[in-house]
Chains A and B, each alone.
Chain A
Amino acid sequence: MTKISMTVNGKAVSGEVEGRTLLSAFLREELGLRGTHIGCDTSQCGACAVHLDGQLVKSCTVLAMDAAGGAVTSIEGMQNADGSLSVIQAAFQEHHGLQCGFCTPGMVMATAALLKVNPKPTEAEVRHHLEGNICRCTGYHNIVKAVLAASGQDVSAIAAE
C-alpha cells in the first residue's frame, strides 16, 4: 500500500492505495464519492468520466497512483458554489436528458469538457463528442438537446419538445 494525495473537487485528500487501484475505485471506495459510476470493464461506457488536471478521462482507466498530485473534478464538484445546479445540470433536468441516471454523471462531465473547448458545438459535434458515453435509456435525443441548450443555443426547433 502506498499513500497518495491529490485534490478532489477543490479539497486536498489522501489515502492508501495498491498499485492496481483504479482512480474510479479510489474515488468511490476510499473517498465515498459514489457519483462516479462503473458501467463496463473495457473502458467504453464513460459512466466513470471525471476531469483530471482539466482533461476528460475515464477514471476506470487511470491508476490512482498516476493521479497522485493531480486535481480531479468529479460529478460531486459540478454544482454552483451556492449548491444550485450548474447550467449543464439544469439543462439536463429541463430537457429530460436523463432517465435512470446511471450514465448521467459521465454525460455531465463529458459535456463540460466539450463546452470548455467548443462553446457552441453543432449537433454533429455533440454527437461525435459523446461517442464515448453510452446511455441505454434516453436514445440520446434529450441529451443532445440538453447539451445544445447548455451551450446557449436555441433548441425550440428540435422535434418533439
Chain B
Amino acid sequence: MPKDGIGASTVRREDVRFLTGKGRYTADINLRHQTYAVFCRSDIAHGRINSIDTAAAMAMPGVLAIMTGADFAAMGGNPAGWHIPSRDGSAMREPKRPVLAHGKVRHVGDAYAIVVAETLEQARDAAAAVNADITELEAIVDMAAAVANPGHRVHDEIDGNLAFDWGWIEDNRAAVDAAFAAAPHVTTLELTNNRLAPNAMETRASIGDYDPGTGDYKLYTTSQNPHLSRLLIAAFVMGIPENKLTVVAPDVGGGFGSKIYHYGEEAAVLAASKALERPVKWVADRSEAFLSDAHGRDHVTKIQLALDKQGNFLALRTETLANVGAYLSNFSTATPTFLHGTLMAGPYRTPLVYVNVKAVFTNTAPVDAYRGAGRPEATYSIERVIDKAAHELGLDPLAIRRQNFIQPDQYPYTTPVGLVYDTGNYNATLDKMIELADIAGFEKRAAASKAKGKLRGIGYSTWIEACGIAPSNLVGVLGARVGLYDAATVRVNATGNISVMTGAHSHGQGHETVFPQIVADMLGVPASSVDIVHGDTSKIPFGMGSYGSRSLAVCGTAITKAVDKIIAKGKKIAAHMLEAAEGDIEFKDGKFSVAGTDKAKAFGEIAFSAYVPHNYPLETLEPGLEETAFYDPANFTYPAGAYACEVEVDPDTGKVTVESFTCADDFGNVINPLIVQGQVHGGVAQGIGQALLENVAYDAQGQLLSGSYMDYTMPRADDLPFYTVDHSCNTPCTHNPLGVKGCGEAGAIGSPPAVINAVVNALQRGGHKAVTHIEMPATPARVWAAMNA
C-alpha cells in the first residue's frame, strides 16, 4: 500500500492554492467584455405586482438591459425534486416557481427584475431607480395561522397553504395510536427546530456566458452539483437541450446544502447574456444571501413517546409543521419527509412509529436541506423526548438509551419507518464516548463549577443517520424525480499519470486529496500521480454532486468500479504481453504478474502499451486505458454515534458555555482520518451554533430581522471549545466495496440535542426542577427566563 493510500492522514494538496490566495471561486472569474447584474428584490413579504417601470433606470449611464418577471413568464418553473403525496392520496400542491417573481412577490428578497450594466456601480444605481408598484397584501408568516386561516393564501390557487399532509407510514397509524392508548407512560414534548441560514462564507455567484456563434450557453456558478443544475436549468426552466449548456462550478467556498439548488438568478444571467451577447456576472452580497439563500430546519413538532415503567420504548408518534417558505425549493419536499420521517426509529428498537408532516407555505424565504437535512430535526425530537421521559421515570439517560438499542446481532434490522440498517454497534460507540468524555469524573467537575458559582450540566445524544441516499429504484417509488447513482471516469494517460473525472463536487471536503488516495491504493501508484477533475459538466461523464454525505459512499464507489475495469483491462493487456492466460494474471502493488512466476509488467508499462499498441491484442481489445462506471448503491449507509456535551450555565446571566464536546462515531472505514475529524468538527460547530446562537427571525409582517452578521449570531472561535473526536468503533458498511458510510453531516445531526440536554440538565441539577425544555437557540435571555419563571 502506498504511504498516502487508504487510511493515511494525508495533508490536503488543495490547501496550497487556498493558503496562497490562488483559489479561484466564481467571483474571481472575469470574462472579456463582461457586464454586471444586480437584482431588484421585494422589500415586502407579500404583494401584488401592478407594474414595474424601468424607463428611468434604462436611461441611466451604462445600463444595458433590464428584464422583469414578465420576460421570463414563458419559461418553465424551477421544480421540486420529490413528489410527496398526501395521506388522502391527493397529489402534492406544487405552485410554479418562476425565474423572477411575476404577478406576486411572496417573500422579502423575492427577485422581480435583473438590471445589467457596464459596471457594478452602474447596475446598482440603476436597480435603485427601477420603480415597482406593488400592492401590499397581508403577510402569512406563522405556520399555525397559515394553516388555520382559510382565504389567506401565499399562492392564490392553494387554500390552506399546504403542499402536502404526509403520513409515514399511514397504514401503521391505527396500531401506533392503539399502543399509546394502552401505554403505562406517555411522554409528550412540543419543540421548535429553529430556522437557520446556511452561511457558506462564499456567497452565491453566477456568470452567464452565451456564445452567439454556436448557440451554446456556459454558466459558472456556485454549485454543489453542476450536472443537477444543468438538468434543472436546461430541461425544466429554460427548455434548451442539455448539450447546449455547460455548467462549471469552480472552487466553491462551502455549501452545507444551500448550493445544491438551482436558483432563478442562474437562469436570469444566462438569458441576459443571450440577449446582450456578452457575459453577465452576478455576485450576491451577504444581505442577499440572508434574504434569498434557502434556509434550513424550521419545524414545529409535537413528539410523544410511549414507554413501560421500566423505560422500554413501546411506540413513538410525531406531528410536525414544516415550513417550506414561499416556494418549493428542489429538495424541500424530501427533507421533512424521507430524510426525516424515515429516521424516527433512531438507533432504537421502538416497534411502532408514526410520523405526520404538514408542509406549509409562508411568506418567507424557501426552506430546504441544510447540513443534515431532516435528520437533525428527527434526531433532535427523538433525543429530547427520551431525556424528558428518563427524567419523568427517574431513569438514567444513558441507561434508557442503551436498553432500547438495536443489538449487534439484529442486523440487517428493518425499522418500522421503512429503512433496513445493514450494520452498526451502538453499545460500542456509547462505551467509547463514556470513556473519552470521562463521565465518571463529571460530579467532580460539577463540584468545581459550583464552587465558582456556575451550574454544570451534561447531555447526551445517540444518533443515527441515513446517508448516500439510494437506491434509485427505491427513491423513485418514494417520489424522487431523479436517480441517485453517480459516475466516474478513470483516464490513465500514456505516461501513466491518471485523471479521475468524478461526479462529486468538493467545496471543502478534500476530494482532490482523498479520491487519489483510493486510486493510489488500488493501483499501487503514488497518489501524487492521480488528479481529480470535477465541477465541469463538459469534462465529467455525469454526477449528482455532493450532499447527503454521499461523495465517498456513492461517488467514491463509482471511482473504485472504474478502477476495477482498468485493472481488468490491464490484465488482458498483460496476458498478451507476458504470453500467459488472462486467468493467470495477478495484479498487486502496481504490478501485473503471471501467478507463481517472476514474470511481471509494471502498471506504467501496461498503460504505455495501451496507447502505443505495438505489442497489443488489437484484434480483441481496443487501445487506450480509460473506463467509466456508474454506480447505484443497494441501500443507504447508516453512520451512527454517541455524543456528550458538558456546559456551564451562569445563573446570573443565563449564559451557556460549552466546556467540552465528545464524539464517538461509527463512519465505517475511514480513508483519511484528518479530513474525517475536520468534518466532524465543522458539523459540531454548526450544531452548537443552532443550539445556542443561531436563529433566522421574521417579524409578523414577514420582515427579516436577522439579515446580517449584526443580527444573526455566527459561532466564532471564542464561542467554541476543542472537541474530542473518535472514529475507532467501526462497523464497515456492508454494501459498498470501501465499507464507508459518510461523515459530512454527523456533527450537525448529533450535537444539538446533546447541547440542549446538557443545558436542561444543568438547570435541573441547579434546583430548577420544573425546567424540562428550553427552545433553541438557548440564548442567555431564554435560559435566564427559564430559571426565573
Q: Is the interface of A mostly helix, strand, loop or mixed?
A: loop
Distance (whole angstroms) from the CB of A42 to the closest CB of chain B = 5
Residues of B within 8 A of A37 (CB): 25, 201-202, 253
Q: Is B726 among interface residues, defined by CB-CB distance under 8 A?
A: yes
Query: Is B430's CB within 8 Å of the partner chain A?
Result: no
What residues of chain B lie closer than 8 Å to A143, measured between beta carbons?
717
Q: Is the CB of A100 within 8 A of B681?
A: no
* A103 in contact (CB, < 8 A): yes
Stretch of A51-59, A64-72, A88-96 lying at the B interface = A88-96
In the docked arrangement, what's the CA distance between A128 and B717, Å? 7
B53: Cβ under 8 A from any A Cβ: no
**Distance to closest chain B CB from A138 (angstroms):** 6
The answer to whether B681 touches A74, judged by C-beta atoms less than 8 angstroms apart, is no
Is B606 among interface residues, defined by CB-CB distance under 8 A?
no
Query: Which residues of A are found within 8 Å of B717, using beta-carbon distances?
Result: 126-128, 130-131, 133, 135, 140, 143-144
Q: How far is the CA of A124 from the CA of B718 in the complex (A)?
A: 7
Q: Does B236 contact A (CB under 8 A)?
A: no
* A122 shortest CB reach to chain B, Å: 12
Interface status of A151 (Cβ within 8 A of chain B) = no
Q: Does B20 interact with chain A (Cβ within 8 Å)?
A: yes
A112 part of interface (Cβ distance < 8 Å): no
Decide: B286 and A79 in contact? CB cutoff 8 A: no
A160 within 8 A of B: yes
Q: Given the known A-B contacts A74-B21, A93-B11, are A100 and B202 also in contact in the complex, defined by CB atoms under 8 Å?
A: yes
A26 is an interface residue with CB less than 8 A from chain B: no
Q: Are A135 and B201 in contact (CB-based, < 8 A)?
A: yes
A13 sits at the interface (CB 8 A): no
CB–CB A99/B710 < 8 A: no
A19 to chain B, nearest CB (A): 11
* Number of residues on chain B facing chain A (CB within 8 A): 60
The answer to whether B21 touches A93 (Cβ under 8 A) is: no
* Contact A76-B709, Cβ < 8 Å, known A102-B25, A138-B678, A142-B681: no
A132 to B694, CA, bound (A): 17
Closest to B283 in A: A38
Residue A159, interface by CB 8 Å: yes
| A contact residues around B203 at 8 Å (CB) | 38-39
Interface residue stretch chosen among B395-403, B505-513, B537-545 = B505-513
Docked complex Cα distance between A101 and B255 (Å): 12
Q: Are B716 and A136 in contact (CB under 8 A)?
A: no
Residues of B within 8 A of A42 (CB): 286, 708-710
Residues of the A chain whose Cβ atoms lie less than 8 Å from the Cβ of B28: 28, 34
Find out whether the CB atom of A40 lies under 8 angstroms from the CB atom of B708: yes
A18: Cβ under 8 A from any B Cβ: yes
Asked if A7 is at the interface (CB within 8 A of a chain B CB), the reply is no
- A105: chain B residues at CB < 8 Å are 18, 21
CA of A89 to CA of B16, assembled, Å: 8
- Does B199 sit within 8 A of A, measured CB to CB? yes
Q: In the bound complex, do residue A75 and residue B20 qualify as a contact, i.e. CB atoms below 8 Å apart?
A: yes
Quote the shortest CB–CB distance from A110 to chain B (angstroms): 10
Cβ contact within 8 Å between A102 and B21: no
Q: Output the nearest chain B residue to A93 by Cβ-Cβ distance.
A: B15
- Chain A residues closer than 8 Å to B724, beta-carbon distance: 159-160
- In the complex, A108 has a CB within 8 A of chain B: yes
Q: Are B23 and A35 in contact (CB under 8 A)?
A: yes
Residues from chain A with a CB closer than 8 A to the CB of B747 are 139
Check if B714 is an interface residue, CB within 8 A of chain A: yes
* Given A33-B21, A45-B201, A142-B681, A99:B722 Cβ within 8 A: no
- Across the interface, do B201 and A103 meet the contact criterion of CB distance under 8 Å? yes
List, in ascending order, chain B residues with CB within 8 A of A117's CB.
none
- Bound-state CA distance A85–B21 (Å) is 12
Say yes or no: B286 contacts A93, CB within 8 Å.
no
Least CB distance, B736 to chain A, in whole angstroms: 24
- B285 CB-CB contact with A under 8 Å: yes
Contact A34 B24 (CB under 8 A): yes
Kindly identify which residue among B21, B27, B200, B723 contacts A100, using a CB–CB cutoff of 8 Å.
B200
Which B residues are CB-close (under 8 A) to A102? 23, 25, 200-202, 253-254
**Is B674 engaged at the interface, CB distance under 8 Å to the other chain?**
yes
Question: Are A94 and B11 in contact (CB-based, < 8 A)?
Answer: yes
Say yes or no: B15 contacts A101, CB within 8 Å: yes
Nearest Cβ on chain A to B255's Cβ, whole angstroms: 8
User: How long is the Cα–Cα vector from A117 to B660 in the complex, in angstroms?
Assistant: 29
How many Å from the CB of B61 to the closest CB on chain A?
A: 13
Are B20 and A39 in contact, with the CB atoms below 8 A?
no
Q: Mark B281-306, 1 if CB is under 8 A from A, else 0.
A: 00101110000000000000000000
B22 at the binding interface (Cβ < 8 Å): yes
Given contacts A130-B717, A159-B722, contact A100 B674 (CB under 8 A): no
Contact of B19 with A by CB under 8 A:
yes
Asked if A154 is an interface residue, CB under 8 A from chain B, the answer is no
Q: How far, in Å, is B41 (CB) from chain A's closest CB? A: 14
Question: A138 touching B681 by the CB < 8 A rule?
Answer: yes
> Residue A136 contacts which of B256, B285, B720 (CB distance < 8 angstroms)?
B256
Min CB–CB distance A130 → chain B (angstroms): 4
User: Contact: B21 with A141, CB < 8 Å?
Assistant: no
Separation in Å of the B436 CB from the closest CB of chain A? 8
Residues of A within 8 A of B253 (CB): 37, 100-102
Check A96 against B20 for contact (C-beta < 8 Å).
no
Q: How far is the CB of A129 from chain B (nearest CB, A)?
A: 8
Cβ 8 A contact of B685, one of A85, A103, A139: A139
Question: Which residues of B have CB within 8 Å of A98?
Answer: 12, 15, 18-19
Residues of B near A36 (CB, < 8 A) are 21
Q: Which of B6-34 contact A (CB under 8 A)?
A: 11-12, 14-25, 27-28
- Digitize B675-713: 1 where CB-to-A-CB distance is under 8 Å, 0 elsewhere: 101100111111000000000000000000000111000
User: Which B residues touch A127, using CB under 8 A?
Assistant: 717-718, 720
* Nearest CB in chain B: distance from A74 CB, A: 7
- Let me know if B725 is at the binding interface, CB within 8 A: yes
A141 and B252 CA atoms in complex are apart in Å by 22
Interface membership of B121, Cβ < 8 A = yes
Q: Is the CB of A101 within 8 A of B709?
A: no
Q: Which of A28, A89, A137, A158 contacts B20 (CB 8 A)?
A: A89
**Nearest chain A CB to B449's CB is how many angstroms away?**
18
Q: Which of A92, A123, A130, A134 has a CB less than 8 Å from the CB of B15?
A: A92
In angstroms, Cα B311 to Cα A54, docked, is 63
In the assembled complex, which residues on chain B have CB atoms less than 8 Å from the CB atom of A93? 11-12, 15-16, 19
Give complex CA distance A100, B511 in Å: 11
Determine the chain A residues whose CB is within 8 A of the CB of B510 once the complex forms. 99
What 1/0 flags go to B640-684 for Cβ under 8 Å of A? 000000000000000000000000000000000011011001111
Q: How far is the CA of A123 from the CA of B718 in the complex (A)?
A: 9
- Are A134 and B21 closer than 8 Å at their CB atoms? no
A114 → B minimal CB distance (Å)? 11
- With contacts A78-B20, A136-B200 known, is A39 near B11, CB below 8 A? no
**A75-B21 contact, Cβ under 8 Å, with A99-B254, A99-B508, A140-B720:** yes
With both chains docked as a complex, state the minimum distance between the C-beta of B25 and any C-beta of chain A, in angstroms. 7
| A20, A28, A33, A104 pick with most chain B CB within 10 angstroms | A104
A100 to B121 CA separation, bound complex (whole angstroms): 29
Could you say which of B27, B286, B677 contacts A41, with CB atoms under 8 Å apart?
B286
User: How far apart are the CA atoms of A114 and B143 in the complex, in Å?
Assistant: 47
Interface residue? B165 (CB, 8 A)? no
Contact flag A139-B19 (CB < 8 Å), given A41-B286, A99-B508, A99-B510: no
Q: Which residues of B contact A (CB under 8 A)?
A: 11-12, 14-25, 27-28, 121, 199-203, 251-254, 256, 283, 285-287, 507-510, 674-675, 677-678, 681-686, 708-710, 714-718, 720, 722-726, 747
Pairs A–B under 8 Å by Cβ, sample size 21: A37-B253, A39-B203, A40-B709, A96-B675, A100-B507, A101-B23, A102-B253, A130-B716, A131-B716, A131-B717, A136-B200, A136-B201, A136-B254, A138-B682, A139-B715, A139-B747, A140-B685, A144-B722, A159-B722, A160-B723, A160-B726
Q: What 4 new A-B contacts, CB under 8 Å, besides A101-B17, A160-B677?
A: A41-B285, A102-B254, A136-B199, A141-B685
9 smallest CB-CB distances across A and B, nearest first, come from: A35-B21, A101-B18, A139-B685, A102-B253, A99-B508, A100-B508, A139-B681, A75-B21, A160-B725
